[in-house]
Chain A
Amino acid sequence: MNLVGSIYKKMNSKDKVIIAILLCCFIGSVIFVFNNYSFYEKPIAKVVHTKVEDVVKVSDINGNEDTLYTQHIIAKLLNGEEKEKEIHLTNEYSKSKAYDHEFQIGNELFVKIDQSEKEDEDLTGTIQEVKRDKYLLLIGWVFIFVLLIVGKKQGLFSFISLVFNAILLSYALDIYIHNSSQSLLWICGISVILFTVTSLLLANGLNEKTYAAIIATLLGTFISLLITYLVLLVTGEKGLRYEEMQFITRPYRMVFMAGLFLGSLGAVMDVAITMSSSIFGLYEKNNYISVKALIKSGMEIGKDIMGTMTNILFFAYVSGSIPTLILYFKNASPFGYTLSLTLSLELARALAGGIGIVLTIPIGLYTTLFFVNRKRARL
């Protein structure tokens, strides 16, 4: 308590206001999400009793053995006309739980109530989905608090820029969906410019460093996109297995290119801002530093970040395919076929992103040098 008191004394009134607002948001949103049942149209039920009724051992032709459980669940409805009534549900789940869930007392589920003719009979229904909103919210708050405790003001700004980008993306997709005549690539191109400008301005403020980074990011992403496009054209897209692309409601080639475009943007921005702020840092420390020395140090910094940056994209893309890979292997799919089918698009994205990252190193270096020289000429 003493610690909290001493921290409280150190803060100025502006910080206190921000913390008070944050705490109010936190408490308010948690209360809302734990009591928002009436806002959902689908009936929600809370599990109050579970009993495993049947256990069956199964095996398939590939020698995989698994266990199937049948679970009888009694749950209490939390919204709708039948509120407070109990509902009987049956749930089948496996030991591996690839597509099913084992429910425990306290879990909240979306259910579909069966229509029954008789009045006095117990309600029955089927389980449709798990209510996950509260977990998302709580993890989101953990992220916000970690970000604020570690990053203070910069943490707040980077959170604002993430939220702003998410809203912008959603808005851009709305425009695309309502105007199918507009090409997704054009919409993405314009949003990429907006994303870059807002993220970098929020991260670094209005100064030459930011301008250099914005120009380098845009050049880097557009050139790497052009290279990828040419590669796809030259090779006739041989080796890319679009059939494994999920959730396709639109021309898949366009969606893939747009995703590739967006996906490498963050990494390219990261490289561009690292290059421009470190070169400006060197210049500010020593105003008479030669251009040659700046190029040399800039390339050294670039070499340092190249390897780890390409790995970020690589892991972010490839890891998502792990469950699918396991499922293919367990169903005795041939090794090479599985890899080419499940990973070709992800690897193409990672490689194209890598090209963007590496190209942005010299681009960022020379754009920053241009701004440094302009600043020098003014002195």
Chain B
Amino acid sequence: MNVLVLLGGILFLLMTIIGGRKGVRSFFALFFNFAVIIITVILLCSPEINPVIVTLFACVVISCINLFYINGVNSKTKTAFLSTIICIVILLLFIIFVTNKSMIQGFGEEEIGELGAFSLLVEVDFVKIAVSVIIMSTIGAITDTAIAVSSPMREIHYHHPDISRKELFLSGLSIARDILGTSANTLFFAFFGGYLALLIWFKDLSYSVGDIVNSKIFSAEIITILCAGIGVTLVIPITTWITAYFFVRNKETKETV
């Protein structure tokens, strides 16, 4: 039996037993997201379409799947969705600037050997693809943080309906600080686990610190981790502010009606 089928089967079983109906939805969300990534890659292959716009569109669809499909459409997922999109746009501008300056696009010299059989002149703008890769690596973590902040804030607002906007904002921020480190940590270990072979390679071939730091593949990896870290940190104040703004405004409009 195929490894992936068996692992997928075990995951499905566990998610169903532990998560019930929501677990089943979470499992299918993985499939939908996989389909979105493949469609995005196919769209990125045609040079006429701007990769940044494709990525932004893919991010909107992925956030819809992660937030609305798994958790349902309600006030906390709506604010989380809005914050995710705002954060992605800000991050996108930063990353476009960074990739243009640091020239980390495409493939490094360590990777090029095994791609030798392929033509590398394929019209697609790899600088913009690099932007897309960084954003797509982070989108899962950004939606996770956004919902993790907005959902306890709704609980606070529910238990203390008279809370002022500023108080709600501050208590949201104090909850958010507790989860700040864990999201960054999750991404950090995921990337280092994925690139363990590369790190061993650098050590085995005794690269100097200067060689490692300036090599395309290592700096691309570190820049991805740092941008992901900036993304998951930045989404915290954005979500807190937007949630506080909408929840307390909702109350005011209700009173005037």
Q: Which of B6, B62, B199 has the most CB of A within 10 A?
A: B6
Q: B214 at interface (Cβ–Cβ under 8 A)? A: yes
Rounded to whole angstroms, the CA-CA distance of A219 and B133 in the bound complex is: 33
A64 is contacted by which of B119, B201, B228 (Cβ under 8 Å)? B119
Name the A residues within 8 Å of B187 (CB-CB): 266, 312, 316
B105 at interface by CB-CB < 8 Å: yes
**Chain B, residue nearest A232 (CB):** B3
Interface size on B, residues (CB 8 A): 120
Specify which of B2, B41, B123 is in contact with A322 (CB 8 Å cutoff): B41
- Check if B4 is an interface residue, CB within 8 A of chain A: yes
B 92-116 to A, binary, CB cutoff 8 A, 1 in contact else 0? 0010001001111111001110110
The answer to whether A266 and B189 have CB atoms under 8 Å apart is yes
Tell me whether B183 is interfacial, beta carbon within 8 Å.
yes
Q: Is B257 an interface residue (CB 8 A)?
A: no
Q: Tell whether B10 is near chain A: CB-to-CB under 8 Å.
A: yes
Q: Which residues of A contact B2 (CB under 8 A)?
A: 235, 238-239
Q: B14 near A358 (CB under 8 angstroms)?
A: yes
Over the window 142-175 of chain B, the binary record of Cβ atoms lying under 8 Å from chain A Cβ atoms (1 yes, 0 no) is 0110011001000000000000000000000000
B179 partner residues in chain A, CB cutoff 8 A: 274
Residue A182 interfacial (CB < 8 Å): no
Q: Are A98 and B222 in contact (CB under 8 A)?
A: no
Task: Give A169 to B195 CA distance when docked, in angstroms.
Answer: 12
By a CB distance below 8 angstroms, the chain A residues around B182 are: 203, 269-270, 273-274
Q: How far is the CA of A312 from the CA of B8 in the complex (A)?
A: 17
A250 contacts B by Cβ under 8 Å:
yes
A111 to B113, CA, bound (A): 21
Give the docked Cα–Cα distance between A12 and B120 (Å). Answer: 57
CB contact under 8 A between A96 and B120, given known A309-B144, A329-B41: yes
Contact among A98, A139, A248 with B197 in the assembled complex (CB-CB below 8 Å): A248
A314 touches B140 (CB 8 A): yes
Q: A299's contact among B18, B34, B71, B105, by CB below 8 Å, is which?
A: B18
Within the assembled complex, what's the spacing in Å between the Cα atoms of A18 and B164? Answer: 32
| Whole-angstrom CA separation of A204 from B143 in the bound complex | 23
| CA gap between A150 and B184 in the complex, in Å | 13
Would you call B198 and A355 a contact (CB within 8 A)?
no
How far is B223's CA from A142's CA once the two chains are assembled, in angstroms?
11
Stretch at the interface among A19-27, A46-54, A154-162: A154-162
* Residues from chain A with Cβ under 8 Å of B181 in the complex: 151, 154-155, 157-158, 161, 199, 202-203
Do residues A255 and B197 form an inter-chain contact, with CB atoms below 8 A? yes
CB pair B20 A267 closer than 8 Å: no
- B190/A266 in contact, CB under 8 A: yes
| CB-based contact A270/B183 at 8 Å | yes
Closest to A165 in B: B188
Instruction: Determine if B244 is an interface residue (Cβ-Cβ < 8 Å).
Output: no
Chain B binder among A116-124, A256-264, A288-296? A256-264
From known contacts A99-B106, A349-B194, infer whether A235 and B6 are also in contact, taking CB-CB under 8 Å: yes
In the assembled complex, the Cα of A61 lies from the Cα of B18 at a distance in Å of 52
What's the nearest-Cβ distance from chain A to residue B140, in Å? 4
CA distance A249 to B196 in the complex (A): 11
| A162-B184 in contact (CB<8A) | yes
Q: Judging by beta carbons under 8 Å apart, are A326 and B129 in contact?
A: yes
Contact of B123 with A308 in the complex, beta carbons under 8 Å: no
**Contacting pair B186 A267 (CB below 8 A):** yes
Q: Tell me if B200 and A146 are in contact (CB < 8 A).
A: no
A131 near B: Cβ within 8 Å? yes
Name the A residues within 8 Å of B246 (CB-CB): none
**How many of chain A's residues have a CB under 8 angstroms from any CB in B?**
132
A303 to B22, CA, bound (A): 7
A351 contacts B by Cβ under 8 Å: yes
A312 to B37, CA, bound (A): 14
A116–B230 CA distance with the chains assembled, in angstroms? 48
Q: If A40-B210, A314-B140, A320-B137 touch, does A246 touch B197 (CB 8 Å cutoff)?
A: yes
Partner of B236, one of A150, A323, A353: A150
The residue on B at minimum CB distance from A65 is B123
Minimum distance in angstroms from A287 CB to a CB of chain B: 19
Is residue B251 contacting chain A, with contact meaning CB distance below 8 A?
Answer: no
Asked if B214 and A133 make an inter-chain contact with CB atoms under 8 angstroms apart, the answer reads yes
Which of B122, B130, B143, B228 is most buried by chain A, counting CB atoms within 10 A of its CB?
B122
Closest to A137 in B: B213
- CB pair B14 A312 closer than 8 Å: no
- Residue of A95, A129, A162, A234 touching B123 (CB-CB under 8 A): A95
Q: Given the known A-B contacts A246-B197, A327-B118, are A315 and B138 also in contact in the complex, defined by CB atoms under 8 Å?
A: yes
Q: Is the CB of B185 within 8 A of A177?
A: no
Contact B140 A313 (CB under 8 A): yes
Within 8 Å of chain B (Cβ to Cβ): is A222?
A: no
The yes or no answer to B89 lying at the interface (CB within 8 A) is no
Other-chain residue from B94, B103, B143, B180 in contact with A151 (beta carbon distance below 8 A) = B180
B38, B125, B139, B193: the one contacting A97 at CB < 8 Å is B125
| B88: Cβ under 8 A from any A Cβ | no
- Tell me whether B7 and A231 are in contact (CB under 8 A): yes
Cβ contact within 8 Å between B210 and A320: no
Alpha-carbon gap, A40 to B127, bound state (A): 27
A110–B123 CB distance below 8 A: no
A150-B200 in contact (CB<8A): no
A-B contact pairs, 24 of them (CB 8 A): A39-B210, A99-B112, A110-B214, A143-B230, A154-B178, A157-B181, A165-B188, A177-B204, A231-B3, A235-B1, A235-B2, A238-B1, A250-B200, A266-B186, A269-B189, A302-B18, A304-B151, A305-B144, A320-B194, A322-B133, A322-B136, A344-B4, A358-B11, A361-B18
Other contacts beyond A162-B184, A310-B11: 5, CB < 8 A: A132-B102, A135-B101, A158-B184, A316-B141, A316-B194
Closest 6 CB pairs of A and B: A263-B193, A158-B181, A266-B189, A307-B26, A66-B121, A315-B140
